[in-house]
């Protein structure tokens, strides 16, 4: 039971980085970005190849760069070519499938078992003390990304990105390049997603070209679960809620599978249902309030 909890927390923290990237695009920029499925697998692929060649730290840096590049392409298609945000994300995600195969040498999956990763190095460093090197590294990684993003969104550029998501017309009237801020925001979001994929690749010791399929829904589920716990307030609270929501989601799924509440092949369906219910709650609440006001008006 303890091992199940530990494994769930580790995966939750790793996927929390992805959830924070989705929070950036979905909540801050107010853009439904479907590039996530492809950029996550891209991060995995790049990390696996570089890890196999003995560069585990460089693998993470490279994953951040290629993830940002993927997000920038999506932003370019949206802002300069005029393609709808959802369609531009689908186009880049589809194109990345071939890119990911090319990165992995035409193979659909790649194993890094037996290679040195950041997780194996951390286990070697502190195994004599706690034996929880993987958990410590996942925690440090997630908190570090959270702090960097929280600080960044307090800067001038970060505030411009936030303003673009809140009111694009106002931003344009203030002589701020809204197209540029959109591209930067999408680049940051997908850089986080690719970094998450790279860390998962080193943690799970493999890369698979189809591993990112449906992850945008899982990321949204994590964000929404976190918002249910913390509410929607400041950006810092939003990022923290995405982190906590990701861990909570993984723990819920792990125990649901352990006690056979639903079969393993139903994971993505359950995630989709969670997101659909959570997104429909405001509309349902508004309709109920409106119906109540109508009834009160009739009774007067």
Question: What predicted TM-score, i.e. pTM, was given to this entire model?
Answer: 0.89
Helices (H), 27-132: 36-52, 56-79, 85-103, 118-126
Residue with token string 């193979």: 107
Closest among 265, 273, 264 to 220, alpha carbons compared: 273
Do 89 and 73 meet the contact criterion of CB atoms below 8 Å apart? no
Over the stretch 28-54, which tens digit does the pLDDT of each residue have?
Answer: 998 889 999 999 999 999 999 999 999
Burial status of residue 80 (CB atoms within 10 A of its CB: 0-12, 13-18, 19 or more): exposed
Q: Which region holds residue 286: left if phi is over 0, alpha if psi is between -120 and 50, else beta? A: alpha
CA dist., res. 41 & res. 212, Å (int)? 5
What per-residue confidence (pLDDT) applies to 217? 86
CA dist., res. 242 & res. 248, Å (int)? 10
Please state which CATH class domain 2-299 belongs to.
mainly alpha
What is the distance, to the nearest Å, from the Cα of residue 214 to the centroid of all Cα atoms in its chain?
A: 11
Do 53 and 110 meet the contact criterion of CB atoms below 8 Å apart? no
CA dist., res. 80 & res. 103, Å (int)? 28
Do 225 and 248 meet the contact criterion of CB atoms below 8 Å apart? yes
What per-residue confidence (pLDDT) applies to 1? 66
What per-residue confidence (pLDDT) applies to 150? 94
DSSP H or E segment with residue 111: strand 109-111
What per-residue confidence (pLDDT) applies to 131? 52
pLDDT tens, per residue, the chain with 300 residues:
677 788 888 999 999 999 999 999 999 998 889 999 999 999 999 999 999 999 999 999 999 999 999 999 999 999 999 999 999 999 999 999 999 999 999 998 899 988 889 998 888 777 545 557 788 899 999 999 999 999 999 999 999 999 998 888 888 888 889 999 999 999 999 999 999 999 999 999 999 998 888 888 888 888 888 888 887 778 999 999 999 999 988 888 888 777 777 777 777 777 777 778 777 877 887 788 888 888 877 776
Burial status of residue 144 (CB atoms within 10 A of its CB: 0-12, 13-18, 19 or more): exposed
């Amino acid at each position: 039971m303890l091992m199940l909890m530990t494994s769930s927390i580790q995966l939750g923290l790793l996927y929390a980085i992805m959830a924070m990237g989705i929070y950036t695009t979905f909540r801050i920029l107010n853009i439904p970005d479907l590039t996530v499925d492809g950029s996550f697998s891209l991060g995995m692929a790049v990390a696996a190849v570089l890890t196999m060649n003995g560069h585990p730290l460089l693998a993470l840096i490279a994953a951040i760069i290629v993830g940002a590049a993927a997000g920038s392409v999506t932003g370019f298609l949206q802002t300069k070519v005029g393609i709808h945000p959802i369609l531009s994300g689908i186009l880049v995600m589809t194109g990345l499938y071939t890119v990911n195969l090319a990165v992995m040498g035409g193979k659909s999956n790649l194993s890094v078992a037996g290679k040195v990763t950041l997780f194996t190095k951390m286990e070697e460093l502190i195994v004599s003390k706690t034996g929880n090197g993987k958990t410590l590294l996942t925690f440090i990684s997630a908190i570090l990304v959270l702090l960097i993003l929280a600080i960044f969104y307090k800067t001038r550029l970060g505030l411009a990105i936030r303003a673009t998501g809140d009111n694009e017309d106002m931003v344009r009237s203030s002589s701020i390049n809204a197209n540029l801020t959109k591209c930067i925001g999408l680049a940051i979001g997908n850089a986080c997603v690719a970094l998450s994929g790279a860390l998962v690749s080193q943690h799970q010791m493999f890369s698979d070209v189809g591993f990112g399929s449906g992850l945008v829904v899982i990321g949204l589920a994590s964000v929404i679960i976190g918002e249910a716990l913390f509410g929607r307030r400041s950006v810092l609270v939003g990022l923290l809620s995405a982190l906590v929501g990701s861990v909570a989601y993984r723990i819920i799924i792990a125990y649901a599978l352990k006690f056979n509440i639903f079969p393993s092949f139903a994971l993505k369906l359950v995630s989709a249902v969670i997101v659909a219910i959570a997104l429909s709650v405001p509309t349902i609440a508004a309709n109920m309030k409106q119906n109540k006001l109508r009834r009160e008006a009739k009774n007067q």
